[in-house]
Amino acid sequence: MRILARHILFLILLTGCVKEADLPIPDQPASWIVVDATLTDEQKVHAVSITMPVTGLNEIPKPITGATVLITTADSLWILTEDPLQPGDYLTDSLFVAQVGHTYTLQISHAGNNFSAKAEMVPGKVFNELTYKKNEGDDWYHIDWVASAFSVDNPAMWEILIDWSTLPGFITLDPAACRARLLFFTLPTIDVSQIFAPVMEQTSFPAGSIINERRYSLTPGHAEFLRQLLLETNWQGSMFPTANANVITNLSPGALGYFGVCAVTELSLVVE
pLDDT of 103-113, one tens digit each?
999 999 999 99
Is residue 215 in a domain? yes
Is residue 171 in a domain? yes
222 & 145 share domain: yes
- Answer whether residue 21 shows pLDDT above 70: no
Question: Is the distance from CB of 130 to CB of 160 less than 8 angstroms?
Answer: yes
Confidence band of 6 (pLDDT split at 50, 70, 90): very low
Question: How many structural domains does the chain have?
Answer: 2
151 & 111 share domain: no
Name the more confident of 81 and 25. 81
Is residue 25 in a domain? no
Is residue 26 in a domain? no
Question: Which pLDDT does position 236 carry in this prediction?
Answer: 87
Structural domain ending residue among the three candidates 80, 100, 121? 121
Structural domain ending residue among the three candidates 69, 89, 121? 121
Type of residue found at 57: L
Question: Which pLDDT does position 5 carry in this prediction?
Answer: 43
The 10s digit of each residue's pLDDT in 154-202 is 999 999 999 999 999 999 999 999 999 999 999 999 998 888 888 888 9
Question: Which pLDDT does position 29 carry in this prediction?
Answer: 60
Average pLDDT of span 144-159: 97
Question: Which pLDDT does position 27 carry in this prediction?
Answer: 53
Q: Count Cβ neighbours within 10 Å for each residue of 100-138 and write b for 16 or more, e otherwise.
A: eeeebebebebeeeebbbebebbebeebeebebeeeeee
Is residue 126 in a domain? no
Question: Which pLDDT does position 200 carry in this prediction?
Answer: 87
Question: Which pLDDT does position 22 carry in this prediction?
Answer: 46
Spatial strand order of the sheet with 131-134 comes to 131-134, 141-145, 204-205
pTM comes to 0.88
Question: H or E element: which one contains 241?
Answer: none
59 & 168 share domain: no
157 & 95 share domain: no
Structural domain ending residue among the three candidates 121, 153, 186? 121
Burial class (CB in 10 A: 0-12, 13-18, 19+), 225: buried
The 10s digit of each residue's pLDDT in 256-265 is 999 999 999 9
139 & 265 share domain: yes
54 & 112 share domain: yes
60 & 189 share domain: no
> Which structural domain, as residue segments, surrounds residue 66?
33-121
| Bridge pairing between strands 141-145 and 255-262 | unpaired
